[in-house]
Amino acid sequence: MEKRVTEIVENVVTESGVALYDFELKRTAKGLIIAIFLTKMGGITITECKTVSRKIANILEEEDFIEERYFLEVSSPGLERFLKLKKHYVSAIDEKIKLTFDDGKENISKIGILKEVLPNEIKMEIDAEIIEIPFLKIKKAKTQFDFKDDIKKNNLKKKKGE
């Protein structure tokens, strides 16, 4: 069942001209949740999410192979999104991220700018210093959206006439 759901999701997403950011099957007390997170350059629209959702729902209904109760959720990963795969890190270069990693003694959380993604590690700028963190040491990573920084950037653009 999971393999077929994955095939359907990947095919519909590809045909729809958007990219699959993440995909989860979660079992809850209410039933199976099929959570699909879409992305594309410039951002994903609600209309694109609805289109993908309808196409997937139609196929799931037509094939009727999921025996348990399920819920389909299709959305963007959001402004603050988890970084799980290497491609997620690559898409977040030059963004502010919050990272929790093991330094050998304890888990440490830092906020900084993701500067580079290498085969086995990332480089992150924290307080004007570049630190290297191996992927194997990373426990959790998430982009951080700072509303104050966004307001400052928009105000500067307005002053410059952009």
The model's pLDDT over 59-74, given as tens digits with 9 standing for 90+, comes to 999 999 999 999 999 9
* Assigned domain for 81 exists: no
**What's the mean pLDDT in 18-45?**
91
Indicate if 35 and 11 belong to the same structural domain.
Answer: yes
* Assigned domain for 159 exists: no
Which single residue is written with the structure tokens 């799931």? 60
Single residue among 41, 75, 109 that ends a domain in this structure: 75
The pLDDT score that the predictor gives to residue 79 is 83
138: CATH: 2.30.30.520
Indicate if 67 and 13 belong to the same structural domain.
Answer: yes
Domain coverage including residue 141: 86-145
CA 33 to chain centre: 17
2-15 and 46-63 are packed helices; what angle lies between their axes, rounded to 10 degrees? Answer: 140
Indicate if 101 and 65 belong to the same structural domain.
Answer: no
* Assigned domain for 40 exists: yes
CA nearest to 6, candidates 39, 14, 18, 31: 14
Indicate if 8 and 64 belong to the same structural domain.
Answer: yes
CA dihedral 102, 144, 42, 33 (to 10 degrees): 70
Q: What is the pLDDT of residues 85-123, one digit of tens each?
A: 898 899 889 999 999 999 889 999 999 999 999 999 999
* Assigned domain for 94 exists: yes
> How far is residue 151's CA from residue 71's CA, in Å, rounded to a whole number?
36
* Assigned domain for 80 exists: no
6: CATH: 3.30.300.70
The pLDDT score that the predictor gives to residue 124 is 95
Q: Is the dihedral of CA 98, 103, 108, 110 positive or negative?
A: negative
- DSSP bridge partners of 27: 32
Checking if the pLDDT of 152 tops 60, the result is no
Assessment of whether the complete model's pTM goes beyond 0.75:
no
Our count of domains for the chain comes to: 2
Judge whether 35 and 26 are in contact, CB under 8 Å.
yes
CA nearest to 144, candidates 105, 112, 117: 112
Single residue among 75, 103, 123 that ends a domain in this structure: 75
